[in-house]
Amino acid sequence: MSKITRRAALTGAAGLASLPLATLKFARAADPTKVVYWHHFTSQEEFAGLKAVMEQFAKKFPNIALTQENIPNPEYMTKFTAAVMAKSRPEVSMVAPERLPDMLAMDGLIDLTARVNAWKLKPYFPADRWVGATQKGKIYGVPAFTFVDWVYYRKDWFQAAGIEGPPKTLDEFVTAAKKLTDPSKNRYGFGLRGGPGGYAYIVDLMEAFGTQFVVDGKNAMDKPKALAAVKWYSDLATVHKVVPPSAANDGFRQIMEGFKTGQTAMTWHHTGSLVELVRAMKPSEFGTAAKPAGPAKRVARLSYQYNGLMKHDNEQAAWDWIAFWGETDPAIAFLEATGYFPASTEVAKDARITGNPLYAAAAETTTFGTLPPAFVGYAGWSQNVVLPEFQKILVGQQNAEKAVDNMMKGLDAALN
């Protein structure tokens, strides 16, 4: 019997001790690649849609462990900025086009141009799909779906009031709103969003009246045109009184509740709220329409929502996730859950879209719709200056001219 020396015993013990480490190494080799996805989906429908897409993705890519993290939309840039500053970025982030300049200015996204150009589905995404995610010729996001701005209107009230269809111009819009307003019944012609998120409609109207905002990095606002727009919009509350008294504080939830509960006859939002209304109201009660034309232009936004990569770690797996949204099955699954339009022309030909009359207005809007403005400082200017200055008109604290002066000063400050 051989004698076990002290050295041999120690060597054996060391070998045994290293076994779990070796096993761990093997286990790690087989571990799925981790991808963290930041998004700002809010509603039940959106979460159902995301779940459907994630389930399909998990089947196709079992070696990728995808984790979704929901960041409330108003805090999205706060978290994004903190992640960039603290170097704790997720692999993938949702990218709204109006946020792209700010995200890029803080070096928060990585260049995807080479990957996009080599992507087999790129032919189904025409050039306009990429504008909102492109800067200086480089692409920083892949379109996932589209928000198409449109009008919801009470079909039954329009018929009862003898109004022929939804308004096509802003003049027709005011006429219809006046006819449908009856404060004694707590009924108003239009659910104006003057609270959180309401800045977008003020900006849209200024453009519909003919002003530009930034040209060659300089303030290009045309005061008379901007003033006409702001006056038209605020007159709905202060002169025509066709909006609920709560308009100055009404955000998304309030305008939707106002429409669903029979307080308002029309409201502006995008295709994203269709599923909620279909569930809450009868088909005979409401319809959808393209937004009315302004004196200079018909403005409705096509907001392609993108997914972009924030870091090079696990880059292939992260790319697989954002490219997956362009495929037919996940895009249709997401549409069925949320009503959100696919960004791919191939998917848009699907019978489930072309056969639904409620989507006709969205199809019409895609023929003239434009992307929201995108310049560095837009988010701060529109939310910190445009909206509160407009609210001050609604509550009688100042007139439209003073508000436009302050908006123009605010834009100067944002650009300088």
Partner 1 sequence: MSESPVLKRSLAARLSDGRAWPWLLLVPALLLVAAVVLYPTLTGMDISFRQMRLNRPALGTGYIGFTHYLAMLNDTVFWVALQNTAVWVVVTVVLELLLGLMVALALDVELPGFRTIAVIVLLPWFLPVVVAGNIWALMLDARLGVINAALVNLGILSDFKAWFADPAWALPAAILVEAWHGFPFFALLLLAGLKGVPTELYEAAAVDGASLWHRIRHIQIPALRMIIVASVVLRAISLMNSPELLLILTGGGPGYSTQVLSLYAFQKAYREFNFGYAGALSVVMFLLLMVGSWVYVRTSNALKD
CB 64 within 8 A of CB 33: yes
Q: Is 87 helix (H, G, I), strand (E, B) or coil?
A: coil
* Beta-sheet pairing, 302-309 with 142-154: antiparallel
- Residue 98 touching partner 1 (CB under 8 A): no
Find the shortest distance in angstroms from Cβ 178 to partner 1.
21
Q: Is residue 46 near partner 1 by the rule CB under 8 A? A: no
The distance of closest approach from Cβ of residue 87 to partner 1 in the complex, given in angstroms and rounded to an integer, is: 14
HEC assignment per residue over 281-329: CCCCCEEEECCCECCCCCCCEEEEEEEEECCCCCHHHHHHHHHHCCCHH
Distance CA 91, CA 69 (A): 11
Is 376 a binding residue for partner 1 by CB under 8 A? The answer is yes
Tokens in use for 195?
């609270």
By CB under 8 A, residue 217 contacts partner 1: no
78 belongs to the binding site for partner 1 (CB under 8 A): yes
258 binds partner 1 per the rule CB under 8 A: yes
Q: Which is nearer to partner 1, 144 or 394 (CB)?
A: 394
Determine which residue in the list 195, 272, 330, 372 makes contact with partner 1, applying CB under 8 A.
195
Q: Is 77 an interacting residue with respect to partner 1 (CB under 8 A)?
A: yes
Q: Can you name the residues that pair with 218 across neighbouring β-strands?
A: 215
> Which residue in 244, 272, 308, 339 binds partner 1 (CB under 8 A)?
244
User: Does 254 sit near partner 1 (CB under 8 A)?
Assistant: yes
72 vs 126 by CB, closer to partner 1:
72
* Nearest CA among 180, 203, 192 for reference residue 254: 192
User: DSSP state, 131?
Assistant: G
Q: For residue 416, what are the CA distances in angstroms to 203, 214, 303, 375, 383?
A: 20, 12, 27, 13, 18
Identify which of residues 249 and 356 has a Cβ nearer to partner 1 in the complex. 249
- Binding status of residue 379 toward partner 1 by CB under 8 A: yes
Residues 6+ apart with CB under 8 A from 311: 89, 90, 91, 110
* Binding residues vs partner 1 (CB under 8 A): 74-75, 77-78, 81, 101-102, 105-107, 186, 194-196, 244-250, 254, 257-258, 261, 263, 376-377, 379-381, 383-384, 387-389, 391-392, 394-395, 397-398, 414
